[in-house]
Amino acid sequence: MSHGAAVEVVDLDETGWLLDPDTGQPVSDHRLRDHLADRLAPPSWATDILVYVHGWQTSPGSAHRTAERLLALMNAALTAVPDHYPALAGAFSPWCIAVRWPSSSRLTPAGYRKIRDRAHTMGALGAGGHAAHILGRLLGYLDAGRADPGAAPVLANRDGQYLHLVGHSFGCRFLCEAVQWAADPHIDDTLGWSAAGLPSARPFTVDSLLLFQMAARRDAFISLFPRLLPNGAYDGAPLRGPIVTTYSRHDRATGFWHLQAEQQSGIGHAGIGPAPAPMFTTRMLALSERYPLSALDHTFVNVDASEVYVRGHRLNPAGAHSDHVRLESAHLLLTLADYSR
């Protein structure tokens, strides 16, 4: 994990459109492909590509530092207990893109609702938002630029790169919207290719989707994201691995505040509720314990982190909503990368 710059950044404006880091101005639509190729070409040394989208109340600098911290924690976990991740032995060099968006507001219920509404507007195409379109293009580009994950049995070089999506809070919604948007078979401007054995209509594939403390209704995978999974016209959706969410009863932002705003607690407080596929629930494990494949090999996995995500100053009304930057989180992310092989 010492190759080159391990974290790059992508900035979105309040509509979800991509900003040029040099000028701060929106990138024109006809330049998107060239801009992605110039700025975000996956490095040859990377075995795994991570896309991290932050959540509420996160500054651009904090988003970058959080991505770097997660990579450092993954390195620490891999060094401490390499036997827990046998498929990664000698062959794990992650490269991360941190997607940043304007998420700051006052630490009040009204501030929470403001960013909830902004996240919805940014991600919903019908509301004039562009985040799903831009991130869908980004994911498709990354898939086009990476080597085939099935090309090598051991990923020690450019012959194989896996793609993992990691979100926190409202950032989870952006990722789900992006995957759902690009799953539409009528979309023709998402870059990408189809690996052997996968449906040729799919513009890209995702090897794992990990959602920390998701700020969305418990029925979101029915009401908001029904096209993440193969279903009718969307048969062959681009998810190759499981959808894994964490939750903690100490998360007051997606607990009490979400209850007030949307008449039900959020996924980050109580886990996914009704879903279009069977659900499996397990607890978040300490680094000393290895996740069995049977705990994560499901379409939807709720991970109860109530014994781990507990930190949050008693005067902070959000509780443990942002307590996901932990060694245990890195352990879960590494396990998903390991089982993706």
> Domain residues of the chain, as ranges?
7-340
CA 135 to mean position of chain CA atoms: 11
> What is the share, in percent, of the chain residues with pLDDT greater than 70?
79
Long-range contacts of 256-264 (CB under 8 A, 24+ apart): 257/109, 257/112, 257/317, 257/318, 258/112, 258/215, 258/217, 260/109, 261/109, 261/112, 261/113, 261/116, 262/217, 264/217, 264/218, 264/219
Task: Give the number of C-alpha atoms closer than 13 A to the C-alpha of residue 13, restricted to the C-beta side.
Answer: 14
**Are the C-beta atoms of 101 and 16 separated by less than 8 Å?**
yes
Amino acid at 300: F
Residues near 129 by beta carbon (within 8 Å), at least 6 away in sequence: 15, 16, 120, 121, 122, 123
Amino acid at 310: V
Q: How confident is the model at residue 64 (pLDDT cuts 50, 70, 90)?
A: very high
Q: How confident is the model at residue 182 (pLDDT cuts 50, 70, 90)?
A: low
The b-or-e profile of 44-62 (16+ CB within 10 A means b, else e) is: ebbbbbbbbbbbbbbebeb
pLDDT tens figures, 269-328? 999 999 988 899 999 999 999 999 999 999 899 999 999 999 875 556 677 888 999 999
What is the β-pairing status of strands 162-168 and 48-53?
Answer: parallel
pLDDT at residue 5 in the model: 58
**Are the C-beta atoms of 248 and 269 separated by less than 8 Å?**
yes
Q: How confident is the model at residue 146 (pLDDT cuts 50, 70, 90)?
A: low
pLDDT at residue 59 in the model: 92
Question: Could you give the CA distance from residue 41 to residue 64 in angstroms, rounded to a whole number?
Answer: 18
Least confident of 149-158, 206-215, 279-288: 149-158
Question: Could you give the CA distance from residue 96 to residue 241 in angstroms, rounded to a whole number?
Answer: 19
| φ, ψ (nearest 5 deg) of residue 313 | -55, 140
Residues near 3 by beta carbon (within 8 Å), at least 6 away in sequence: 43, 45, 46, 93, 95
Cα angle, residue 284 at apex, residues 281 and 290 outer, rounded to 5°? 105
pLDDT at residue 159 in the model: 39
**Are the C-beta atoms of 39 and 8 separated by less than 8 Å?**
yes
Question: Could you give the CA distance from residue 105 to residue 110 in angstroms, rounded to a whole number?
Answer: 9
pLDDT at residue 82 in the model: 96
pLDDT at residue 50 in the model: 94
Q: How confident is the model at residue 45 (pLDDT cuts 50, 70, 90)?
A: confident
- Give pTM, 2 decimals: 0.88
What would the mean pLDDT of 71-87 be, rounded to a whole number? 96
Return the residue matching tokens 């390499």.
82
- State whether residue 97 is helix, strand or coil: strand
Residue 34, token pair as written in the block: 């060239």
Nearest to 300 by CA among 328, 272, 324: 272
Round to the nearest angstrom and report the end-to-end CA distance of the chain. 18
Return the residue matching tokens 């190729």.
37
Give the dihedral sign, CA 78/82/83/89.
Answer: positive
Residue 88, token pair as written in the block: 């990664």
